[in-house]
Structure 1
Amino acid sequence: MNSDEDPKAGGGGHDNRNIRGNQREAAAVENVASGAGGLSQSELDELVASSDTGARTPAGWVGRLILIVAFCWSLFQIWIASPLPFILEVGIFDETQKRSFHLAFAMFLAYLAYPAERSPIQMGLALGVPIILTLLFINAGPSGSMWWIALIGIGIVVAIVLGSPKNWVPPWEWALAIVSVCCALYIYFFYDEIARRIGRPITQDLVIAVAGLLLLLEVTRRALGPALTVVASVFLIYTFLGPYMPSIIAHGGNSLAEVANHQWITTQGVFGIALGVSTSFVFLFVLFGALLDKAGAGNYFIQVAFSLMGHMRGGPAKAAVVSSAMTGLISGSSIANVVTTGTFTIPLMKKVGFSSEKAGAVEVASSVNGQIMPPVMGAAAFLMVEYVGIPYFDVVKHAFIPATISYIALVYIVHLEAMKAGMQGLPRPYEPGPWMRRLVGFVFGVMLICALSMFVYYGMGWIRPTFGGAAPYIIFALLCAAYVALVWVGSREAPLEIDDPNAEVTELPMPGPTVRSGLYYILPVVVLVWALMVDRLSPGLSAFWATAFMIFILLTQRPLMVMLRGEDRHGITSVGGALKAGVGDLVDGMISGARNMIGIGIATATAGIIVGAVSQTGVGSALADVVEVLSGGHLLAILLLTAVLSLILGMGLPTTANYIVVSALLAPVIVTLGQQNGLIVPLIAVHLFVFYFGIMADVTPPVGLASFAAAAVSGGDPIKTGVVAFFYSLRTAALPFLFIFNTDLLLIEVGWIHGIFVFVTATVAMLLFAAATQGWFITRNNILESVALLLVAFTIFRPGFWMDMVAPPWDDRPPAELAQALEESPVGEPFRLVVAGLNDVGDPVEFRVQLPVPEGETGEDRLAALGVETIQNGDEVIIDNVAFDTPAQEAGLDWDQQILQVRAPAEAPSKYWMYIPAFALLALVIWMQRRRAGPGEATPVQRAAAA
């Protein structure tokens, strides 16, 4: 697929803007995909458009208006992200005002670009939601607002009944779009008045809030399907009907004034953190990806992956995995990623022996995981920055090992599938040299990259203090020089052609020329990673500088190619024509980025309704009690419940909305139950757990719509494709459970050497897990061998599970020996206390806290360093005081709590001794399989040759 010429196929961003819940369209896709040839290119483009940019394409001035508004949205977002407003002292907006404009753009474009679904279920929902909510608003509101609210509800219902054509925008939809803009901008225009009467809304506030909520729910149904609309509506209904709920989740109920103020007028609901992250961070990353794709990077990534890996066993499938990982930088949409890379990779996978279902499943499994791959992850990763309260650098660091080994394992799964079927790779256009020469060349290349990286790192460290205020200009000049040099290198190679996946493949492209032809595409990614990881700038500012450099590349790459090569990649030979084409690419990329943001903006705003209802009603604490009852207080049970809930909600919610809902409801519950079960679960681990299972919902049948998109390309059965993709993705489903219990996988409090060790061992374990679940290692597994491989993988992942049974890591002491135990413990080691106290609602609770042993001469000194004062009454030890901003306060200790038990670190052998029996068992499996795969049994290649 030509990612250079299709603004709808890529488009950056990092959310899963899906055709959620659109069952009728999915069924149509399934029917067409069941045929022999799959969907045509135009049908695939329409599928991506319906999920990411809107299926309505009106002609004439209305179509041009949509493009102009989208372009203006991108300009607005670049302006507020740049330092220019503060330099020029013009156009400065505070965070609330930015969110107001962001939502106004998103709702206006959504009403114009997304026609309403007319199926009976959708129509019933469309009419039912505004009618029910309008009645609740009228009943809960003051009498003065009753007629206004009734008029709003009637107007929305009438507009829905009149219909929503796909090829033009009727007057009533213009009305909905314009009124939604007015409601979104209300906070901006009446900002000062609202600030003066904060907490005391007037009738005008109530009317605007009601209209805004109803219009937001209706546009959510259009753009994202019914599921998120239903979930948000249920939470709104719960807010009003709290007294009538079952006692365990009942609350006092809220009036219309309270709900309107909380949900629309303040930043606790719709205009809350989620919409703020979409405004400040996500849009710029979406735009960066769209511009990168428009420059031609999408095709470049695919070609590079094929040139490097296409010759291996099942080479096209391995290349699909790698190219999808790289395309994750460009497209955070699972469907767009599947269609962008899949139109090229899936036919080639089928040519080397993969069935339609397996080819589609490989593409689905690799495309969906693009959101978990650092350094640029999904939109939920930016929400973690706000919800967990850690820098984005730390989020990337914690997510690195799970994401990397997940992709390595998928490449290995493809290799196993190729071995089962005796597949070969595609022919390559050169004879490889001796393996020693290749190894030396690889090592030399790695050393060269490391040396270059160190030169850049220390060179930047020298330039800044040496040149002071002039340093940014010098750095930009050096960056431009590197860019021009890499463009010159690329100009010496033939431009990359957009290969026809249906043409006969005779040989692969040469790796060297293919890599060199587009090295300059890496520069903006380097700028982004440098700003995020080295300079530690905010995600928004990092994305701004990367986007600014990407704009510079789009405007200059074609004229430079004309000057250096004589023509650009599309055959333009004049500098003026090339510059004009570059401006066109920039405009198209800006429009594409904005249109791809519509779904994210709507999703984050609607998810804000749910978060606002949780904070207003206190349902989180009530839900904790419900979950504790269902799980019996066991952490593993609540993790399973959370995983199932994420999968169920993910069938209808975009990944970002799914993450917001589940993390808001269950993340605190998991942490609390972990404390009560003796496991200190870091908050980032819980949030990543929820994020991973939200992504898994895109794969899981029967509603894994990424699987439907892949089947549309491959011509295979969508449900079978989803089932195979689910089994390929079991590695992704296993990882969250593992890093909850072994936080070393998240590099939490892990040094560099230990981190490398964890990466290597975790990769080995994940490969063994893949071999066990795929039923093939050296040869086909029997049941006992699969079980043994699973046991070995689990032991490598979590050796402490077995070692704790052999040698407990804790020395349990009575509370009276607290000071003595602290004095005898090594400094820096974890020290645990079992504590009894009260939870947030005043109910008695028992939990565990973990504290680092501080420095101090005596136990009393160390206790004071922790910030704890105790009193002893017989055998009881009561916490008398906890100092502010101390380790004890951060751990959750408070006055009047009782210490029930002291758990001091005990001397125990290293948990890694458990690797010895694990690798011994692995050696036994290898020996058994090698015996079976000996002369008495034909290898897969021999069987294929015989056939």
Structure 2
Amino acid sequence: MSDIVESKPDIAVSKEALLKAEQYIEEEEGAANHLEGWLGVFLSTVAVVMSLFHMFAAYAIVPTQTLRPVHVGFVLFLSFLLFPVSKRFRHRIMWWDWLVSLLSIAIVVYLILGGDDFTDRNTRPDPWDIFFGVALILLVLEGMRRTIGWILPVISICFLLYAFLGAYLPSPWTHKGYEIGRVVGFMYMSLEGIYGVAVDVSSSLIILFTIFGAFLQFSGAGKFYIDFSFSAMGGKPAGAGRTVVLSSFLLGGPSGSGVATTVTLGTVAWPMLSKVGYERNAAGGLLAAGGLGAIISPPVMGAAAFIIAEFLKISYLDVLLMAVIPTTLFYLALFLMVEIDVRKYGMGQTIFKKVDTVWNLTRHYWFHFLSLISIIVFMMWGFSPVLSVFWATVVSFLTSFLRRDTAMISYDLFQGKGSISHHFFQSPLIQALRAGSVGMLGVGATCAGAGIIVGVVTLTGLGLKFSGIVIDYAGGSLLLTAIYTALVVWVIGLAVPVTASYIICAVITAPALIKLGVPDFAAHMFIFYYAVLSEVSPPTALSPFAASAITGGDPYKTTMQCWKYTIPAFLVPFVFVLDPSGQALLLMGSTDALAMANPWEIARVTLTAAAGIFALAVGFQGWLLVRATAVERTFLIAAGFALVYPGPVSNLAGAALIIIALASHWRRGWKHRPLQGERANSG
């Protein structure tokens, strides 16, 4: 990207800032080895073979009993060779790395060669079964530690200890306890433990969407989405902030990673945000908030969205439909915050150069939009999600040849210029296939580890025990149960990635909401949205920390600014949990996840939620036409909470509070209209 903004040296993004931001990406995705020579070629070849195998499995028929173990085998093999045991062994492969990587293959070979006899004896495993089963559990724990850190492995170990020591625990946590043979048989020799739902989704959907995102990136779609946003939103007082919001949606959709979206966009957008008047922490908060939207934005949501579909036994298209209005409300909150920023920070006209006109960009690169929407089109035609993303990847590959500069295989190869090996093996196609596999190793290891947790919960009945405890503490109140559930999801999300946070909470907290009459689809979406908060919640607020590295702001102040931008939208999940009418926000009826809600009900609930978001945005920002008074802010925040809580009484109270606050504010705003361009003294 060039000539986006007339940057001064003091606001340019330094190499040190980029390196620091890269550290936060590594904290989420693991600090990988950078290997050259024959080792680099070998690992790239394995990664390409892994992607091709999964694309073949999407089109052909590969038995589940084969696909899931092979997928975990690939993940562990590459994880042990690409991620060192510790940083001091980085950029080299030690003998023990080869040992554990080969052992991960042996575990899969032993399972596949065992055939039906192997699975039939899962309740009475023999010594070799136990050996390989224990080895798999240990390798999964180590694979998670290398790719995402210590916390999730420690949590998984605690769950395993709960399975072994249940007979020694006090009521209501007690259970009969299980011997190692029974645990190993369940975790390794059945499709209920490590090879359970999470790995099923990882092997059949997540990796395919990761490959699809890599194809979009290496065909130039990511750059186009940023360029398009900068051109479409430039020239207005709020153009800088609007650009961040729009480009984060377009760029985040294919990536599905909050941190990666934040860093990619931040390196381009921070100089522009600084130019128009954003202070460092506010700019970082906005960038992180935009990156957060990547995880909840259709058509390529975060990995947890695929697991929702599997848990609920509904199509992925249904999950996308349920996400449409909440995602729209999330970005509405960001747009409102951006518009308020213009007045709050006294911003003048945005000063930055457009890369090109919207018309020229669209005329030359329109096919990148085709690649993005093709997934939805294929699913609407009746294709399964797996086949839809497979064909969408094919579409992305084929349409890349419409222009020389986006072709995933160089035109020079077809014209006989240069060596075939150089043009093919260094082509964007090979890079995309490699990136598709490497980019999901952390998620794959997380899903395998989550299988340990889910397996223990299933084996011991912990989910029902925990839901009973939550309901007892809440006294049977749905509101308190929802608050406790949100807090549990939030606390767990502080320590583990979004996918793991969702899986853990889906099996231990969703039953509490469902017991109190909340439909399962609404309960799971509620948990999913609060699991997403882990991206912006200290101490693991990786997106704001990465943004602060780019802007030079304070990490914790940036995190609080990000909270300010996103908190209005994250009260929305209470709408579709606390009252049946609120489930219209998910475009679903109140009793059936496949029944479309009444259009008038959808419109009413959506407008009510939008009004609540507006009130909360103004209340938290403390600014509209002029600075809001303490009374006005209190009224607006109270109105926002009242409108989020479904019901005629609370909605009328919220509307009345908004009218009173806005009447007072408008009167002062018009009276002191010359002051509205003044810069706020504080953020």
TM score, norm. by length of structure 2: 0.91
Match of 1:729 among 566, 579, 585: 566
Letter in 2 for 1:539: P
Which residue does the alignment assign to 2:70? Answer: 101
Q: Distance in 1 between matches of 2:219 and 2:27?
A: 23
Q: Distance in 1 between matches of 2:668 and 2:355?
A: 35
Which residue does the alignment assign to 1:586? Answer: 429
1:449-848 equivalences under 5 Å are 505-506=352-353, 509-532=356-379, 534-554=380-400, 556-559=401-404, 575-576=415-416, 584-672=427-515, 674=516, 680-741=517-578, 742-749=582-589, 750-798=597-645, 800-802=647-649
1:345-356 equivalences under 5 Å are 345-356=269-280
Deviation at 1:301, TM superposition (A): 0.7
Contact in 2 for aligned 1:81/1:280 (Cα 8 Å): yes
Which residue does the alignment assign to 1:925? Answer: 661
Deviation at 1:367, TM superposition (A): 0.5
Q: Distance in 2 between matches of 1:930 and 1:542?
A: 51
Contact in 2 for aligned 1:334/1:367 (Cα 8 Å): yes
Deviation at 1:747, TM superposition (A): 2.0
Letter in 2 for 1:392: Y
Deviation at 1:312, TM superposition (A): 2.2
Letter in 1 for 2:457: V
Q: Distance in 1 between matches of 2:125 and 2:104?
A: 20
Letter in 1 for 2:387: L
Deviation at 1:111, TM superposition (A): 0.7
- Helix, strand or coil for the counterpart of 1:254? coil
Which residue does the alignment assign to 1:174? Answer: 98
Q: Distance in 1 between matches of 2:392 and 2:552?
A: 39
Contact in 2 for aligned 1:53/1:596 (Cα 8 Å): no
Contact in 1 for aligned 2:333/2:569 (Cα 8 Å): no
- Helix, strand or coil for the counterpart of 2:635? helix
Deviation at 1:933, TM superposition (A): 1.9
Which residue does the alignment assign to 1:939? Answer: 675
Contact in 2 for aligned 1:360/1:721 (Cα 8 Å): yes
Contact in 1 for aligned 2:409/2:423 (Cα 8 Å): no
- Helix, strand or coil for the counterpart of 1:312? coil
Q: Distance in 1 between matches of 2:468 and 2:566?
A: 32
Contact in 2 for aligned 1:38/1:712 (Cα 8 Å): no
Which residue does the alignment assign to 2:83? Answer: 114
Letter in 2 for 1:646: V
What are the superposed Cα offsets for residues 129-153 of structure 1, whole Å, 9 maximum, x if unpaired?
A: xxxxxxxxxxxxxxxxxxxxxxxxx
Deviation at 1:620, TM superposition (A): 1.7
- Helix, strand or coil for the counterpart of 2:509? helix
Deviation at 1:709, TM superposition (A): 0.9
Letter in 2 for 1:607: A
- Residues 101, 790 of structure 1: alpha-carbon distance in 2 compared, 3 angstrom cutoff: same
Deviation at 1:577, TM superposition (A): 5.3
Deviation at 1:630, TM superposition (A): 2.9
Letter in 1 for 2:249: A
What are the superposed Cα offsets for residues 294-351 of structure 1, whole Å, 9 maximum, x if unpaired?
A: 1011111111111111222232222111111111222112111111111101221111
- Residues 560, 112 of structure 1: alpha-carbon distance in 2 compared, 3 angstrom cutoff: closer
Q: Distance in 2 between matches of 1:602 and 1:198?
A: 23
Q: Distance in 2 between matches of 1:34 and 1:242?
A: 57
Contact in 1 for aligned 2:619/2:634 (Cα 8 Å): yes
- Residues 724, 768 of structure 1: alpha-carbon distance in 2 compared, 3 angstrom cutoff: same
- Residues 932, 571 of structure 1: alpha-carbon distance in 2 compared, 3 angstrom cutoff: farther
Contact in 2 for aligned 1:310/1:425 (Cα 8 Å): no
Q: Which runs of 5+ in 2 are unaligned?
A: 3-9, 590-596
Which residue does the alignment assign to 1:298? Answer: 222
Letter in 2 for 1:747: L
Letter in 1 for 2:534: A
Q: Distance in 2 between matches of 1:581 and 1:786?
A: 61
Deviation at 1:730, TM superposition (A): 0.6
What are the superposed Cα offsets for residues 350-378 of structure 1, whole Å, 9 maximum, x if unpaired?
A: 11110111111101011112111123211
Q: Distance in 1 between matches of 2:356 and 2:346?
A: 24
Letter in 1 for 2:612: A
Q: Does 1:76 align with 2:53?
A: yes
- Residues 599, 238 of structure 1: alpha-carbon distance in 2 compared, 3 angstrom cutoff: same
Match of 2:264 among 318, 324, 340: 340
- Residues 723, 42 of structure 1: alpha-carbon distance in 2 compared, 3 angstrom cutoff: closer
Deviation at 1:76, TM superposition (A): 0.3
- Residues 732, 185 of structure 1: alpha-carbon distance in 2 compared, 3 angstrom cutoff: farther
1:437-456 equivalences under 5 Å are none
Deviation at 1:57, TM superposition (A): 1.2
- Residues 101, 412 of structure 1: alpha-carbon distance in 2 compared, 3 angstrom cutoff: same
Contact in 2 for aligned 1:310/1:508 (Cα 8 Å): no
- Residues 198, 937 of structure 1: alpha-carbon distance in 2 compared, 3 angstrom cutoff: closer
Which residue does the alignment assign to 1:847? Answer: none
Contact in 2 for aligned 1:35/1:715 (Cα 8 Å): no
- Residues 167, 921 of structure 1: alpha-carbon distance in 2 compared, 3 angstrom cutoff: closer
Q: Distance in 2 between matches of 1:569 and 1:184?
A: 34
Larger % of helix: which? 2
Letter in 1 for 2:128: Q
Q: Distance in 2 between matches of 1:756 and 1:660?
A: 32
Deviation at 1:571, TM superposition (A): 11
Contact in 2 for aligned 1:768/1:793 (Cα 8 Å): yes
Contact in 1 for aligned 2:35/2:92 (Cα 8 Å): yes
- Residues 561, 359 of structure 1: alpha-carbon distance in 2 compared, 3 angstrom cutoff: closer
Which residue does the alignment assign to 1:458? Answer: none
Deviation at 1:550, TM superposition (A): 1.8
Q: Distance in 2 between matches of 1:381 and 1:561?
A: 30
Deviation at 1:774, TM superposition (A): 1.5
Q: Distance in 2 between matches of 1:923 and 1:401?
A: 25
Contact in 1 for aligned 2:493/2:531 (Cα 8 Å): yes
Letter in 1 for 2:184: A
- Residues 934, 329 of structure 1: alpha-carbon distance in 2 compared, 3 angstrom cutoff: closer
What are the superposed Cα offsets for residues 686-734 of structure 1, whole Å, 9 maximum, x if unpaired?
A: 1111111111111012320111111111111111111111121112321
Q: Distance in 2 between matches of 1:260 and 1:292?
A: 41
- Residues 35, 351 of structure 1: alpha-carbon distance in 2 compared, 3 angstrom cutoff: closer
Q: Distance in 2 between matches of 1:300 and 1:404?
A: 22
Q: Which runs of 5+ in 1 are unaligned?
A: 3-32, 86-91, 119-163, 428-504, 563-567, 675-679, 804-913
- Helix, strand or coil for the counterpart of 2:440? helix
Contact in 2 for aligned 1:353/1:423 (Cα 8 Å): yes
TM score, norm. by length of structure 1: 0.66
- Helix, strand or coil for the counterpart of 2:255? coil
Larger % of strand: which? 1
User: How many residues get paired?
Assistant: 660
Q: Does 1:59 align with 2:28?
A: no
Contact in 2 for aligned 1:54/1:110 (Cα 8 Å): no
Letter in 2 for 1:932: R
Look at both structures and tell me which one has the larger radius of gyration over its CA atoms: 1
Once the two structures are aligned, what percentage of the paired residues are identical?
31
